[in-house]
A and B are shown apart, each in its own frame.
Chain A
Amino acid sequence: MTSLERSRGLRWLCTLTMCVALVVMLFPVYAAIVGSFESNNTLFGAQYYWLPHDPSLANYRTVIDAQAGHVVTSLILGLGTTVLTLAIALPAAYALSKYRLRVTAVFVSALLVAQIVPSIVLASSLFMIFHWVHLLNTYPGLILADGTYAIPFAILVLRAFFFSLPNELIHAARVDGANEWQTFRRIMIPLARSAIITVAVFAFLGGWGDFIFALTILNGSGIQPITLGIYTYLGNYSTDWGAVMASAVIAIAPAGVLLLVAQRYIASGLTAGSVKG
């Protein structure tokens, strides 16, 4: 312990500094929650209220009418992206960690570079490509695009995890007569549970929070996720801040829930270097 930590007063000063930092970092979330309960009369006054001035659920009623379907769409995209990511990344990560392949270094380099590619570059080309293969305005098309957020990252994280599992497990399974698929499915996947949860959380949030691909690949079709819903709503009713904040709170909710139930996995995924956008 340093002298700084030994002094009681200084320790509380640290706590105070942390509190100030948290107030700044969490204030936008707080303001969105307060705003979601306010009437537009209050929000449009010159005065900003720190606590709900005249709280009501009216905004949520408006939003549930307008956005309930969008929430379902976002859930489908989030879950679809998760399934696609795991289906592609798990076997690939296993192959890249437990088999001696000459392409491994090249393939891993390609994944690292893929993480760097900006989504907008992919979006305008995918718009054209999807146009020819009739994937515009479809769930499969959008999920394939949303996978670009998660799949390279997922393979790298899972690969690092598979490295940590001893090779003796594989040898033992082979001696017991398991074939390659059975070894992968029955031995390795169950052991990789924690890494799978990390990857699944980030894949879900990637699909749930995507905006670029929704904006470009969906044009005026029935499919509309909540991210696009909020943007369109703000464009159409630029003054209805109460309803917009209520939608924002709904759009943030899964992140909050996941942080509550899977915090450990989120922290490890963040440290593994997830790149958004």
Chain B
Amino acid sequence: MLSEGEASLVDTKVNRPNGKELGSAGRDQPHPRLSASRRRRLAAWLFLTPAILYLLFAFALPIVYNVLLSFEQTSISTIGSFTAPWAGLANYRFILNDPTSRSAIVHTLEFTVGSLAGQFVIGFGLALLLNLRFPGRTLGRSLIIIPWLMPLIVTGVIFKFLFQLEGGAVNQVLIDIGLAHHAIDWLDDPHLALWTVLIANIWLGVPFFTLLLYGALQDVPGEIKEAARIDGARPWQTLRYVTVPIILPVIEVTMLLGFVFTVKVFDLVIGLTGGGPANATQLITTWSYNLSFQQFSFGEGAALNNVLLLLALICAPLYLFLSRDSLRGSAGGDR
């Protein structure tokens, strides 16, 4: 929100050489017509301008256009033109009645809940482990980041390789250690494929959960845990009643970022299953891509995109609330 009052004040004062507001100090400055504080405010706005323009162009404009598009009757011939015929709620009606769209929404919810549960349990376990002192801890902490840094499409393709029916490493391990008697069709069995994508996504998110929760555990003062121990608390009780309450804000932020990350997942699914077999792993993201870029129904794709955006933005107020400290921070340099 540009505060127009401020901007126009600066302009008018610049054009008024002998305005009352200019103090005597103003005359000694390199730009005698601007007081030091006005010049600073102008500089601040100039520093901010590229970011404002970028946010408007790369975020605000696409989001607004997406809303517009979702009410239009698009076709391959309308792609080049600025607007298409008004469609009212037809695209949303389509989404509600389209079985694939509906199953994509359900899959996205299942996938998100499953991912968060798996990532949290494994990530918190590893964070607790890393928080103990043992040989190889530092090396472990560095190496565990690797999965998070890989391009997501590459992760998807590698997991496709690992989950191959014949000659795939996963089936080989399961058969070797006796957990499976025959090769499992991870990718082409419609009942299993979503689980396969879920496993890959949990693998991908564990480093993020581990590092964030580990950082929080590191900040828990040792004296508090020591005091709990002296008072006779067992390790589990210390964790449950001392450590977890202290790191709860970090757990909340981590879960929230994990949620946001998971509803966005696209590359991984495209690389691993492409949404198949028989749309069994179609998520909102992949189906919206399919509607827009493969069926050229940009209006329907936009309507589904808005469902996704709404789902992602559900947690925006909570995120803003949890980040309130960074919002409050002012020019005081008080951090």
**Is A bound to B?**
yes
A residues apposed to B, CB below 8 Å: 1-2, 4-5, 11-12, 14-15, 17-19, 21-22, 24-29, 31-32, 35, 43-48, 87-89, 91-92, 94-129, 131-132, 144-145, 147-148, 151-152, 155-156, 159-160, 163-167, 179-181, 184, 205, 208-212, 215-216, 227, 230-231, 234, 241, 244-245, 248, 251-252, 255-256, 258-259, 263, 266-267, 270-271, 273, 275-277
Q: Say yes or no: A120-B48 contact (C-beta < 8 A), given A99-B41, A271-B212.
A: no
Chain A: which residue is nearest B126 at the CB level? Answer: A21
4 A-B pairs with the lowest CB-CB distances in the bound complex, closest first:
A209-B151, A125-B62, A92-B51, A180-B43
B136-A165 in contact (CB<8A): no
CA distance in complex: A115, B182 (Å): 44
A-B contact count (CB 8 A): 349
B39 contacts partner chain A, Cβ-Cβ < 8 Å: yes
Contacts of A48 in B (CB 8 A): 167-169, 171-172
The contact size tier of chain B is: 35 or more
B161-A17 in contact (CB<8A): no
Chain B nearest CB, measured from A207 CB (Å)? 10
CA distance in complex: A269, B255 (Å): 17
B331-A97 in contact (CB<8A): yes
A-B contacts, 19 listed (Cβ < 8 Å): A2-B132, A18-B134, A21-B126, A25-B207, A27-B169, A28-B155, A99-B47, A112-B316, A117-B309, A123-B289, A128-B65, A160-B326, A165-B333, A180-B43, A184-B47, A210-B151, A227-B151, A234-B157, A258-B149
B residues apposed to A, CB below 8 Å: 1-3, 6, 30, 39-41, 43-48, 50-52, 54-55, 57-59, 61-63, 65-66, 69, 79-80, 82, 126, 129-130, 132-137, 140-155, 157-162, 166-169, 171-172, 203, 206-208, 211-212, 215, 229, 235, 253, 257, 260-261, 263-267, 270-271, 285, 288-289, 292-293, 298, 301-302, 305-306, 308-309, 312-313, 315-316, 319-320, 323, 326-335
Q: Which of A94, A95, A126 has the most CB of B within 10 A?
A: A95
Chain A nearest CB, measured from B203 CB (Å)? 7
A180-B142 in contact (CB<8A): no
